[in-house]
Every structure is written in C-alpha cells, then in structure tokens.
Amino acid sequence: MGLKSICRGLLFLSGLVCLSAFAAGGSYQIVAVSNVVFNSIETEDGTLMSGYLTGAGSVVDGVGLFESGMTHSTECIVSVKKRSQGNDISATCTVHYGDLDAKMFMLFERKAGDIAASDAKGGGISTILGGTGNLKRKSGECSYTIKYLDASRSITNQDCEYNL
C-alpha cells in the first residue's frame, strides 16, 4: 500500500467524520429579549390580536453549530386569538445569526398562559422550519417559556434540539 493510498484513505475517513458530525445536529439554549406592538379587534368569540415583534438574544449553551455567546436578531409576526377558554398564540419568525451569515425560520405556538400584560407568562413549542446558508436544511423542535415585563416587552428562554 503506497503513501498515496494511505493519504486518500485518511482524507476519506476524515470527510466521513466531518459529514457525520455535521449531519448529527446538536442542541442549544437561548435567552432573548423582545418588543412587540399589538393591534386588536373584537370578534364574535373574543379578541383577535396581531403584532410585529423585534428582538435579540444570545446562545447561553450550545453543542454543534451554535456556540455559547453567539447572538441573533429576530423579527416575527404574532397572531393571538383571545377567548374565554384561553389563548391560541402563534408567531412566525425569521432569526438572523450574523456569526453564521444565515437566517433560520421558526414557528412558535402555545395555548398556555397570557400575553401582553405585566407579569403574563406561558410556555410552548417552537418548530425549526429551515433557513438560509448553512441553516438551509435545519430542522428541529424547541420548548420555550416567555415572561412579559409589561404589555410590549418580554424575555424568552428556549431549549432546542436540531438536525442538519
């Protein structure tokens, strides 16, 4: 076996290791702050609210592509159906990671807790829908909790698992 064959074999094996590490995905935890401006109308069975949310956050613990200390900015369109039985809350978001020069698309949903009031809080599930750049084929799910500081400002904690 020649040196050329050994080098090819090592290159092939290192490529497989990198590919499997990349495909495996990882996990991360984020803390983010946001500001939302809501408009609402009364409906036959409650109130319909819609809002535009902007925010920023930081990865506080990451394994894989997302490293501790990475920051992001977020834009979301939030929809809330307030009824006597509870709230249906969803937010479609674009999250920009400057360190990765990529965007991630997410859907946040919850039916627990309140919204847009001082000390309102709740928890739900967010789904990673893909992205751009090296986040293009990213998928996964996060659990999250949110706490409102007042009617427009909130703090969100996310715990995510993802695949690439």
Per-residue pLDDT of the chain (164 residues; tens, 9 = 90+): 554 554 444 344 344 334 334 456 899 999 999 999 999 999 988 889 999 999 999 999 998 899 999 999 999 999 999 877 778 999 999 999 999 999 999 999 998 788 877 788 999 999 999 999 999 989 999 999 999 999 899 999 999 999 97
In a domain, 108, yes or no: yes
In a domain, 18, yes or no: no
In a domain, 122, yes or no: yes
In a domain, 71, yes or no: yes
Whether the CB-CB separation of 75 and 56 falls below 8 Å is answered with no
Q: What is the CATH number of the domain that holds 37?
A: 2.40.350.10
pLDDT at 25: 83
Whether the CB-CB separation of 78 and 89 falls below 8 Å is answered with yes
In a domain, 3, yes or no: no
**Alpha-carbon distance 30 to 18, whole Å?**
25
In the chain, the N- to C-terminal Cα span, in Å, equals: 36
Query: Which residue range is the domain that position 74 belongs to?
Result: 25-163
In a domain, 52, yes or no: yes
**Alpha-carbon distance 32 to 156, whole Å?**
5
pLDDT at 66: 93
pLDDT at 5: 52
Number of domains within the chain = 1
Instruction: With CA atoms as reference, report the closest residue to 38 among 114, 146, 152, 155.
Output: 152
Structure tokens, 83: 């009824």
